Structure 1
Amino acid sequence: MNRNQISTGQMISLMLMFEIGVAAVINLGFSAGRDAWMASLIGMIFGAVLFWFYTSISRHFPTLPLTAISRKLLGKYAGAAVGLMYVIYFMYIGSRNLREGSNLINIVLLNNTPLVVITTLMVCCVAYVTYLGFEVLARTAVLLMVFIFSIVLIINVLLFASGSVHVDYILPILADGIGPLWEAITTDTLIVPFGEMILFLMLLPYMRRPEKGGYIGVISIIIGGLLITQTMFLNVASLGLNIAKGSPFPVLSTISTIQISDFIQRVDILVVMTMIITNFYRVALYFTAVLIGASDIFNIPYRKLVIPVAFIFLIWSYSMARNYIFQIEFGVLAFYYVHPLFLFFFPSLLLVAAWIHKRRQRRSTTIA
């Protein structure tokens, strides 16, 4: 995979696709009740700080992916073990996103099509695009972001024009105190999608200026965080808390409230297209990160890994959960037991190791 191919604009587009994709297919922050939008907003602020923390690791080795950095700092065997665990972690999240996207298509569009057929077609598309190269994925992201922002603007105008938005639905603010809000931030909106941005430590070395990754990430988190916040705000303000919380796809339920003089209605298809596109990019980015990591650890050309990785994604995604509800419940366990290890513990370990590595280099330079 060629390095120095991805521009700043392309990387920001990829990051925005990654962030927006998760808000479209799962419920975020509803443990905070009506204050879910506030949980997203504060999670965005903490997420920007967290990403800056992540890139403080990569700034020591801007041309190396996370798997190579771990070997550099922790040694050949311990570093390879940590890197391999990250590859498996990215594979799990990517397979989960693949399942969520397949469920969306199955529930909304293709009710009578077997889930395995939808999942197979999706993973084949992802495998084909990633086989063509990371730069192809990045170039198309820029074009599709224009389409997605246009759809977001149109939907916002239609929601307000149709009178679907009721601001009183989000009142009173902090009615249950700060406890539920803090719980939603620490166990939900900080981790997804902002904590998951650690994925980009695998991708930043392919930028033309990888040392700018921290600034680019913070900018994209602010833009994406504001979009997610306004989406959650509109979900509750249009549907009310109980309906928004109980809907498997609250964004679609919100859009279904749009009706202007029996002329403009049923604009769901625009949102479904957006949801499918952004979910596809999330899966493709995780797929790419797995290819880069496995190629780095096992020293195998990444194109030779495309078919085996696609097969693993397919099997893992299809066998992950019996149904959509069970999948969501299983994902809750990951918030408590899986994510903290990879989003907080290992990065902290690597940062301490990087600090020790830097001190040793200074000492050796002084002695020399």
Structure 2
Amino acid sequence: MERISLVQLFVFTTFFQIGTTIIFGFGSAAGRDAWIVTIISTSLGLAIIGLYLALMYFNPGLTLVEWFQSQLGKWLGTPIAWLYPMLSLYEMGRGLNDVKFLITSLIMVETPKMAIIITFVLILTYSQICGLEVLARVGEIILPIFLLMFIIIIFLVIGSGLLKVAQLQPVLENGWAPIWKVTFPLCASQGFAQTLEMAMIWPLVNATKKNIVKTTIMATLVSGTVVLITQLMLITGLSGFLYTSGNYPTYTLISKISIAEFIQHLDVFGILFFLISAFFKVSLHMFFSIRAIQLLTKTENNRKIIIIVTLLAIMLGHSVSLNFQQHIQVAFDIFPYNLWLPLLWVLPILLFFVTLIKKVVLKAKNT
């Protein structure tokens, strides 16, 4: 069985939570108050992640899909458990659509979308064949480069004189209502509550549960900080119209960087930054779905499952969203309420209370 270290867990968690949130305007529907949305979303994310980690304590050595079977029994727990690889598969398809629309909109306009999907999926499949440990070692190398790129972008944006702090005013111009509407369940789920899927690899971490908790919380704080800084730069660096209505506001901001007419045209630099985070997030979605299906079907060798998931990935990457407008509409208006809310919030909270009640009853019987 493959094992990963705490550092590698930190790498995976950070990349998974950042994911594609930096590609689009995180909480941009709240306008100049999006930074407040980020702080509240991170706080809610830490709370729900704490609940997931408590479930890990209650179910030692078991993965997400095994939690439901262990606590709810075979007949009720197994059908519920199957919802999670389905969720991972769908989110993998949405991640592929993020990459597809990003590349064909910004740098390879005339390239067939299917060619982009197949190329990206083949790279993902190769990473699955190599195994989780190999992907983790690659992540250990890439994350410092990724964070260094992020820091460089910050200094270049500041050096270009793009930031205008006055853009943050007035705070709460439209009150708290639009902030809460954007925060939950959309932003609190995107990246943060999605961390529930990381429970598929927690048993593979070569460390104590206490250290897994510390590492996961630390990674969440780092991810939240990266997203918060990104939003502050976007709000102060772009006009309100460009921030709230642009498809790729971070890309727009990076493309505006110009220092002494020498350092400029960093568009490709920005695209590379986005693709790195998207690759790791989609790779992990793919691994979670393969691992969950393998456990639920009690299959020893996962090669056949990898082939099936690869074919599904190509199909989903092509068919999940017919166009960018539909892709965004589903992401904002449908997906959070119909999938994230029940699967990332309601079911885990119910499972937590069921598990807690069972523990209390069992303890009472023993005394």
1:150-161 to structure 2, matched below 5 A, reads 150-161=148-159
2:26–2:34 CA contact under 8 A, matched in 1: yes
Aligned to 1:336: 337
Shift of 1:180: 1.3
Aligned to 1:266: 265
Structure 1 unmatched ranges of 5 or more:
none
Aligned to 2:101: 103
Q: What TM-score comes out, normalization by structure 1 length?
A: 0.96
In the alignment, the residues of structure 1 paired with residue 265 and residue 279 of structure 2 have an alpha-carbon distance, to the nearest angstrom, of: 23
Structure 2 unmatched ranges of 5 or more:
none
Deviates further, 101-110 or 31-40: 101-110
- Of 30, 33, 43 in structure 2, the residue corresponding to residue 32 of structure 1 is 30
1:10–1:142 CA contact under 8 A, matched in 2: yes
Aligned to 1:314: 314
- Of 54, 58, 61 in structure 2, the residue corresponding to residue 60 of structure 1 is 58
In the alignment, the residues of structure 2 paired with residue 336 and residue 15 of structure 1 have an alpha-carbon distance, to the nearest angstrom, of: 24
Aligned to 2:163: 165
1:167-246 to structure 2, matched below 5 A, reads 167-209=165-207, 211=209, 212-246=211-245
Superposed CA RMSD: 1.4
Shift of 1:232: 0.9
Shift of 1:103: 1.4
1:28–1:188 CA contact under 8 A, matched in 2: no
What amino acid does structure 1 have at the position aligned with 2:82? L
Shift of 1:19: 1.8
In the alignment, the residues of structure 1 paired with residue 330 and residue 242 of structure 2 have an alpha-carbon distance, to the nearest angstrom, of: 22
1:66–1:201 CA contact under 8 A, matched in 2: yes
In the alignment, the residues of structure 1 paired with residue 82 and residue 66 of structure 2 have an alpha-carbon distance, to the nearest angstrom, of: 10
Aligned to 1:355: 356
In the alignment, the residues of structure 2 paired with residue 359 and residue 46 of structure 1 have an alpha-carbon distance, to the nearest angstrom, of: 27
In the alignment, the residues of structure 2 paired with residue 188 and residue 340 of structure 1 have an alpha-carbon distance, to the nearest angstrom, of: 9
Deviation by residue 1:208-228 (Cα, 9 ceiling, x = unmatched): 125133222211111110110
In the alignment, the residues of structure 1 paired with residue 228 and residue 64 of structure 2 have an alpha-carbon distance, to the nearest angstrom, of: 30
Aligned to 2:289: 290
What amino acid does structure 1 have at the position aligned with 2:310? A
Aligned to 1:250: 249
In the alignment, the residues of structure 1 paired with residue 317 and residue 10 of structure 2 have an alpha-carbon distance, to the nearest angstrom, of: 27
Shift of 1:360: 4.3
Shift of 1:267: 1.4
Q: What TM-score comes out, normalization by structure 2 length?
A: 0.96
Deviation by residue 1:296-332 (Cα, 9 ceiling, x = unmatched): 0001122221010111121122111211111111222
1:62–1:210 CA contact under 8 A, matched in 2: no
Identity among equivalent pairs (%): 23
2:28–2:34 CA contact under 8 A, matched in 1: yes
Deviates further, 349-358 or 232-241: 349-358
1:31–1:183 CA contact under 8 A, matched in 2: no
Moved over 6 A (4+): none
Deviates further, 181-190 or 89-98: 181-190
